[in-house]
Amino acid sequence: MEGLIYTTEIPDKVLFYSLFETTGWNDQYQLNADELMIALKNSWYMISAYDGDRLVGFGRMICDGVVHALILDLIVLPDYRNQGIGGQILDKLVKKCRQHQIRDIQLFCAKGYTGFYENLGFKKRPDEAPGMEIKLFL
């Protein structure tokens, strides 16, 4: 989508909490805005997408810096979905891993979104294993 700004800065606490609430995940997690900020600050890398001052997309990773990375919280505001924003965020996260030669990328995938990740190169893991993965530099 044209006109969006992508940044690696931690988003505003209120804006992120509002975006996070659109997922329904907080029904289970019951996190407040301060707890979410702690999680973000402990991330290895993150990408925020803005339309003006509006946070419309986000994704982050935790990583050991050498072998494993885990992509979390890939969120796009419902009104902005199906415009390529999630793919752009995911691409930027994977590029960061490539730059650091991270060998294994795992991700949490929300129910119903496996096709999105498969179209971008990720594969379902065996039924007895959680998540999805993409192997780099093997």
- Each residue's pLDDT tens digit, 19-35: 999 999 999 899 999 99
Confidence of residue 122 (pLDDT cuts 50, 70, 90): confident
Q: Nearest 5°: phi and psi at 106?
A: -105, 165
Annotation marks residue 6 as catalytic: no
Check: CB of residue 13 under 8 Å from CB of residue 35. Answer: no
Q: Nearest 5°: phi and psi at 5?
A: -110, 130
- Catalytic: which of 17, 45, 50, 117? 117
- Rounded alpha-carbon distances, angstroms, from residue 45 to 9, 21, 77, 79: 9, 21, 20, 25
Write out the residue range of the structural domain in which residue 40 sits: 5-135
Percent of all residues in the chain with a pLDDT value above 70, rounded to a whole number: 94
Tell me the whole-structure pTM to 2 decimals.
0.88
Check: CB of residue 109 under 8 Å from CB of residue 131. Answer: yes
| Residue tagged 């995940």 (tokens) | 25
Angstrom distance (rounded) from CA 11 to CA 44: 14
CATH label of the domain that carries residue 25: 3.40.630.30
Per the structure, the count of domains in the chain is 1
Examine the pLDDT at 138 and tell me if it is beyond 60. Answer: no
Check: CB of residue 20 under 8 Å from CB of residue 30. Answer: no
Check: CB of residue 89 under 8 Å from CB of residue 52. Answer: no
